A and B are shown apart, each in its own frame.
Chain A
Amino acid sequence: MDLVITFGMVGVFFLVIIGVLYLARLRDANFSEYAVGGRSFNGFYVAMSFLNTWWPGTTFIAFAGLTAASGVIGFYALLYSLLTVILMYLIAKRVWVWGARNDVKTQPDLLALRFDSKLIRPVAAIINVVSTFPWVVLGMQALGLVFRYLSLGHLTVVGAMLLGIGLIGVRQIWTIQMGMRGVVITDMIQGLVAYVIGALVIIGVLVFFFHGFGPLNSLSPAMYRLPGPGSALGPLYFFSLVATGALGGWSWGSIFVRLFTSDGVKSLKHSAFVGLPLSFVFFTLLSLLALSGASLPAVAKAPQEVWFIVNQQAGGIWLLALAGVIVFAATMGNIDGNIQALGAIMANDIAGVYVKLSDHALSTVAKLSMAGLVVVSVITAVFTFNLPNLVSLAQMSYQGIIQLAVPQFVGIFWKGGNRYGANAGLIVGFLSAVILTYIYPDLVVPGLGGITTGVIGLVLNLLIYVVVGLLVPATSGEVSRVTRLFQSARLPQTVVVPDPATGK
């Protein structure tokens, strides 16, 4: 009976999502529709879509586990997740107007527009694909943990993972068919379940199970200290985590593309107005639950399972089932978003750069890329399930992806950079981050007080960008092109998206 409740709830939720996809089934008219949903979504949809990609299912496992095991340092994710929205608010107008006026569909596309560079598209695309892939695999593997819990010990680890991966693999059929529109519509429902119902569940557990914040007093004082001078990680470790997270947030292609799905700057800003308080409330509550859970002996033994242990102890099988549905909802949104964005990037910024493709061909290449990614991710997830270094690979990928922050943010705010500095900085920054992370897999470079490998790459990247930008004089044509581009963002927002057939 218990298994009927746990798997039944996940099954019903899955069917609801598939049902919504069928009801909303729309044929995307062109690649722009397929890649960015025709720039047609209001602030609520964009906010929920951002949240569902930003807070994956592993938030309930790895992030909550970090807080349960190590204490207040886990709040670094709260700060960078909120700071990154300030950056979004500041770039919103320029990015959206440039995107809509020039039919920009992906993050590498925008960099190509800013720097008038063909090379930067595959460079940024490859960094995106290489960096995001481990997260797709990790997301699939996280479902293994969900299903192992929901099976109440009846499934082996491998069996649970195969079931989770199978289900998420089947879900991708609709991601591939429907593109961004399908992702955003389902993000709304998945986001409501994961973060709104998730927050309500947490409030209930904190009030009726923990009876307030009393359990926090029973934890060791070390749980409330950040790494400081003389610690193994160093006083700048927390700075590095927050800084790379805040800058890196919009470097992920799957996050950045959310900017292009909105129907205007107003909706984009409204999405920040809606999403930021939701993010704050949800993650603060989750962190408080994880900290309170750390007082339980079972959580002390397995901190990463804090979400399931606490919910099962607090509400028995029904709450455990709901906890599973919540993680499942968050995971689906994240994997869908990543697969869709990577497929669009591979078609638009790798294949489409070297071969002239029609709209139909671009959509077909994107769908084939997504299908290929799903197959490779499933295979990798199955064969690397017991390898501990995949988490390291994911951390390494974060050090790499943040290199895109330099041409992106500096390029959006400063007219002075050029394509040479942007490309050279990206390549040097990315490679140095990867090499340093290989040498120092715990990410901390010795002797620098806790500075992480990605920050070193970021500094090199920025130096190259600025120095080359100052040393290589821009032609008068380039100066005038960039000036026009910057001026265009100040014009009234009467934007007509170019017709792909005529280019007008």
Chain B
Amino acid sequence: MGGMIRGMSARMKNWVFGIWFAVCFVCSLFPPLYLAASRQGPQILALPFSVAYMIFVGLLITLSIVVLYLVERTRGEVD
């Protein structure tokens, strides 16, 4: 895994995380998406659908930075 991350080109890394960040912003800010999720059912893991959607998007955003940091650390690019 570490070898694959170190072998990935900078351009590829930028694309992967650029798209990931874009998805985070779209899920949070694009009205048709958040309005489609704005309902009680069906339940996801015992949570109302809209609450589960918010938590999912939150987790997606959190993981984007956590994974980017780990990738940059592996590649020696953190500073």
Q: Is B59 an interface residue (CB 8 A)?
A: yes
A82-B62, A86-B61, A269-B72 known; A225 and B21 CB under 8 Å? Answer: no
Closest to A239 in B: B29
Q: Which of A93, A276, A288, A291 has the most CB of B within 10 A?
A: A276
| Cα of A78 to Cα of B54 in the assembled complex, Å | 8
Contact residues of B between 12 and 48, Cβ < 8 Å to A: 21, 24-25, 28-31, 34-35, 38-40, 46-48
On whether the beta carbons of B58 and A72 are closer than 8 Å, the reply is no
On whether the beta carbons of B34 and A238 are closer than 8 Å, the reply is yes
Contact residues of A between 248 and 278, Cβ < 8 Å to B: 264-266, 269-270, 272-273, 276-277
Give chain A residues whose Cβ lies under 8 Å from the Cβ of B64: 86
Q: Is B5 an interface residue (CB 8 A)?
A: no
On whether the beta carbons of B58 and A280 are closer than 8 Å, the reply is yes
On whether the beta carbons of A225 and B39 are closer than 8 Å, the reply is yes
CB distance from B42 to the nearest CB of A (A): 12
On whether the beta carbons of A79 and B58 are closer than 8 Å, the reply is yes
| Cα of A170 to Cα of B18 in the assembled complex, Å | 47
On whether the beta carbons of B38 and A228 are closer than 8 Å, the reply is yes
Q: Is B78 an interface residue (CB 8 A)?
A: yes
Partner of B51, one of A83, A216, A229, A239: A216
| Cα of A79 to Cα of B55 in the assembled complex, Å | 9
On whether the beta carbons of B38 and A226 are closer than 8 Å, the reply is yes
CB distance from A266 to the nearest CB of B (A): 4
CB distance from A207 to the nearest CB of B (A): 13
CB distance from B15 to the nearest CB of A (A): 15
Give chain A residues whose Cβ lies under 8 Å from the Cβ of B31: 235-236, 238-239
On whether the beta carbons of B54 and A79 are closer than 8 Å, the reply is yes
Give chain A residues whose Cβ lies under 8 Å from the Cβ of B72: 269
On whether the beta carbons of B57 and A79 are closer than 8 Å, the reply is yes
CB distance from A405 to the nearest CB of B (A): 15
Give chain A residues whose Cβ lies under 8 Å from the Cβ of B51: 72, 75, 216, 224, 288, 291
Main secondary structure of the interface of B (DSSP, over half): helix
Main secondary structure of the interface of A (DSSP, over half): helix
| Cα of A217 to Cα of B55 in the assembled complex, Å | 17
| Cα of A79 to Cα of B51 in the assembled complex, Å | 12
A239-B29, A273-B69 known; A86 and B58 CB under 8 Å? Answer: no
| Cα of A83 to Cα of B65 in the assembled complex, Å | 10
| Cα of A357 to Cα of B30 in the assembled complex, Å | 49
Give chain B residues whose Cβ lies under 8 Å from the Cβ of A217: 48
Partner of A89, one of B39, B46, B65, B70: B65
On whether the beta carbons of B78 and A277 are closer than 8 Å, the reply is no
Closest to A221 in B: B40
On whether the beta carbons of A72 and B46 are closer than 8 Å, the reply is no
| Cα of A280 to Cα of B61 in the assembled complex, Å | 9
Partner of B65, one of A242, A265, A272: A272
| Cα of A243 to Cα of B31 in the assembled complex, Å | 12
Give chain A residues whose Cβ lies under 8 Å from the Cβ of B79: 93, 264-266, 269, 493
Contact residues of A between 303 and 332, Cβ < 8 Å to B: none
Partner of B78, one of A266, A280, A284: A266
Give chain B residues whose Cβ lies under 8 Å from the Cβ of A239: 29-31, 34
| Cα of A321 to Cα of B70 in the assembled complex, Å | 39
Give chain B residues whose Cβ lies under 8 Å from the Cβ of A75: 51, 54-55, 58
Partner of A226, one of B29, B35, B57, B65: B35
Given A72-B50, A79-B54; 5 other pairs, CB 8 A cutoff: A72-B48, A79-B28, A225-B40, A239-B30, A291-B51
Q: Can you give 9 contacting A-B residue pairs, CB < 8 Å?
A: A72-B48, A86-B64, A93-B79, A216-B46, A216-B47, A235-B31, A239-B34, A269-B69, A288-B51
Return the 9 tightest CB-CB contacts between A and B, nearest first: A75-B54, A82-B61, A273-B69, A266-B79, A226-B38, A224-B40, A280-B62, A79-B28, A224-B50
